[in-house]
Amino acid sequence: MKSLLGVIPAMAVLAWALPSSAAPDGATLYSRCAACHTKTGAGVPGAFPPLGADFRNLATKPDGRRYLSLAIVRGLSGPMTVEGKAYRGVMPAQMLDDAATAAVLNHVGTQIAKTGPGFKLFSAKEVEGHRSSGTSLSAGDVAKLHAQVGGK
């Protein structure tokens, strides 16, 4: 009995440690985005913007990449125009850590917005930098960044 009691906490630690040691899977994480942006990323005009041409364009520029990271980390709220259509919605902050944020942005970049071979992958370190530069920004502030960084 005594030896068995020693084994139980060890198993609990193992069960806790195993999933967190695996790299986050962008495709699995994207399923939460698909609830709004749809499975293909086409979005719903006027409600949920597409993850396509605007994402591809923003991902090529440092300040655009900061905006994309902060959209996930801080959320978005307020008016913006994406691919010529107006949105005045709310995207809740996604509560993902740096590695998971990078993984889901990379899934969008490669599989959803299909940015092509020129797409520069996001690293957890890059997201960490964007996150720490944006701690004072509200979701409304991040939505205002969209036009400032050349989103359209």
Interacting stretch for ligand HEC, rule CB under 6 A, among 11-19, 77-85, 119-127, 129-137?
77-85
Give the span between the Cα atoms of 148 and 145, in whole angstroms.
Answer: 5
Nearer to ligand HEC, 12 or 63 (CB): 63
Angle at the Cα of 92 (from 86 to 20), degrees rounded to 5? 135
Sign of the torsion angle spanned by Cα atoms 32, 108, 134, 67: negative
Q: Does the footprint of ligand HEC cover residue 108 (CB under 6 A)?
A: yes
Calculate helix-pair angle for 124-133, 98-107, nearest 10 degrees.
110
Q: What is the DSSP letter of 41?
A: S
Q: Does the footprint of ligand HEC cover residue 103 (CB under 6 A)?
A: no
Q: Does the footprint of ligand HEC cover residue 127 (CB under 6 A)?
A: no
Q: Does the footprint of ligand HEC cover residue 59 (CB under 6 A)?
A: no
Q: Does the footprint of ligand HEC cover residue 55 (CB under 6 A)?
A: yes
Interacting stretch for ligand HEC, rule CB under 6 A, among 5-13, 16-24, 91-99, 129-137?
91-99
Give the span between the Cα atoms of 67 and 71, in whole angstroms.
Answer: 6
Q: Does the footprint of ligand HEC cover residue 68 (CB under 6 A)?
A: yes
